[in-house]
Structure 1
Amino acid sequence: MAAAKRKEGPTWLRRLDVAGRAVAAIGVGYVFASLATAVLAKLLPGGPIEATIAATTLSFAIYVTVVVWCFAEPKSWRLWAGLAGGCAALGGVLWIALILEPRL
């Protein structure tokens, strides 16, 4: 029986990688989705109520996309860099939008 052998690292490294991805998906993914929701609620056209409802509805799709990406990205450093950069960019856009018009 010639089964193809995969070269795997130590078990604790794989478990640490999965734990880090879970933290990124659950914690940082929530922060990312929250920032995206706030930015969308601020920038979408229409009244404040309609923009908030539309942004909140889109936030579910944003969060699921981030969670899937957290476990699909082959490199952990790219995952963390992308989430950190995305959160920083969304935070900056929200900050500028709130300075220009202080309605959330």
Structure 2
Amino acid sequence: MNDHHDEYDAADLLDDLINAEPACDSTMAVLFTGSDDETDEERWTREATAKAVCQTRCPARAACLSYALALEPEEGVWAGYTAEELREVRPLLSFVAGHRADEVA
């Protein structure tokens, strides 16, 4: 990793995310994380709805992606990707985590 990344940690990435004014907020948490008792069909529908919020109207998507890549979440929808999708594409997107969102967008 480069020196820039070492100086730029998850707290900084979270600040970037908040400052980018995401389309989601804490009142929408269940949309992005779901519940333990949802069926696969309910999860797929919920995830599609959450992804649509990210993909169609979120000005913080690049910042959210950088934050998610740093966190390596186990579940949820982040920047229009499920945690599973993030794990699959992480090798292709890992360069994003080392840059500020305004350098990526």
Q: Given the two structures, how large is their TM-score scaled by the length of structure 1?
A: 0.28
The structure carrying a bigger helix percent of its residues is: 1
